[in-house]
Structure 1
Amino acid sequence: MHTPTTMRPWRRVVTHYRALVQEHGWVRLLLTHNFHAVGRQAFRSGQLPPWMLARQIRRHNLRTIVNLRGPLDTPALILEREVCAKAGVAHLDIRLCSRDTHRPALLLEIKALLETLEYPALFHCMSGADRAGFMATLYLHWVEGVPIERTRQLRFWPFWHYRYAKTGLLDHFFDCYLAATREHDISLEQWIRHGYRQEAVRGSFRSYPWLDRLVDRVLRRE
């Protein structure tokens, strides 16, 4: 967790400019509709502009913001932490991957976090399509008890998630778990602890190169 410092007015203007231009924030302004409720007490989104984040905090009485981009000091995240500090909202940084598998230890840390953080909470990545969907799936399953196959958080519409690009590794992780449940009655946590093989899951997935180019070069997903 970062402790934000108060910025001088001129530095705040520069930071807003960098977030809008250098971080392609103007592109994300076109996706500000990608804000969705997740179950009873959570929400998911992309990187929101600071004024929109402040509005959503007030509207939904958010108590925790979970940034899935990691502990970066980008202009957008600097502004986000400042908004959270002013609103008295907890801000947590977790580094998730949009095109790779995750270590078992990290997944178990996420489970513990989801079971203890203060709700309502917002999970966000950069675009709100991939990592936010992965986290929302884990939240629904581990906190609200929704079966994985019914979570429906990794979809093209309305989240703009591409299952057949490298971002589909997130879907594939859950597909591998569901395949394991057809052989044994095993919980997701048990599978992560005893059956999940990160390299095997990664190696058994194939994406479409043209979709990878779309996601990486055109959409510029993080």
Structure 2
Amino acid sequence: MRYLSFIAWPAGAILGLAALIGAHAALGQATGNFHEVIAGELYRSAQPSGADVNAYAKNYGIRTILNLRNEKRTEWYTDEQKAAAENGITLIDFPMSSSRELPIAEAQKLAKIMADAPKPLLIHCEHGANRTGLASAIYVGAVEKMSETAAEFQLSPYYGNFAIKGLGRYAMYSSWDKYEETIGF
């Protein structure tokens, strides 16, 4: 019996931690997955509505939005585009697939776009987890030259990214893994 409790406690702790991480990710998705990455400089989110864009402009002074979605542009894009224009926000489109690796040359191009964009910058994709995670990691690592750990945290379950090879959107983590070798941590 003592042996079973020795095994049950760590297993229960691991399951509890996994449930907590999953609940945090789900809550993030349900509330727009908006996060401050670097105060006054870089923010990330899921697809913002026009009302979200208005609020982000007012509350955070967003000057540029980087849209990473490669899906067909429908109402979501028109709404975002209109709100950006009304708030004097530059809208940059850099379409990416969340299921294919981003080539190093494209990652370098993305880093330059983000470095040159007027700040504060908001990066988004549909859910704010995978493509946004990769772009945020590139910004933190290549543009701001912060630590590898700080960059890789952008691709973590905290934001809803679960990089498990063969499952989910591993291509974004794999893209980062190859790109980070070029920036020399």
Classify the TM-score, shorter chain.
0.7 to 0.9
Output the CA distance in 2 between the equivalents of 1:116 and 1:104.
Answer: 18
CA contact (8 A) 2:60 2:120 kept: yes
2:56 matched to which residue of 1?
A: 56
1:173 matched to which residue of 2?
A: 175
Output the CA distance in 1 between the equivalents of 2:174 and 2:160.
Answer: 17
List runs of 5+ in structure 1 lacking aligned partners.
1-26, 181-186, 191-222
List runs of 5+ in structure 2 lacking aligned partners.
1-25
1:89 aligns with 2:81: no
What is the Cα deviation at residue 34 of structure 1?
A: 1.0
CA contact (8 A) 1:28 1:47 kept: no
Secondary structure of the corresponding residue to residue 99 of structure 1: coil
What is the Cα deviation at residue 71 of structure 1?
A: 7.9
- Give the length in aligned residue pairs: 155
Output the CA distance in 1 between the equivalents of 2:42 and 2:70.
Answer: 19
TM-score by length of 2: 0.75
What is the Cα deviation at residue 32 of structure 1?
A: 2.2
1:154 aligns with 2:155: yes
Secondary structure of the corresponding residue to residue 122 of structure 2: strand
TM-score by length of 1: 0.63
In the superposition, relative to structure 1, how do residues 71 and 93 fare at CA in structure 2: closer, same or farther (>3 Å)?
Answer: farther
- The structure that is helix-richer by fraction is 2
Secondary structure of the corresponding residue to residue 73 of structure 1: coil
* Bigger relative CO (Cα 8 Å, ≥ 6 apart): 2
Output the CA distance in 2 between the equivalents of 1:75 and 1:29.
Answer: 22
Identity, in percent, stands at: 23
In the superposition, relative to structure 1, how do residues 104 and 175 fare at CA in structure 2: closer, same or farther (>3 Å)?
Answer: closer
What is the Cα deviation at residue 155 of structure 1?
A: 1.2
2:36 matched to which residue of 1?
A: 37
What is the Cα deviation at residue 49 of structure 1?
A: 1.8
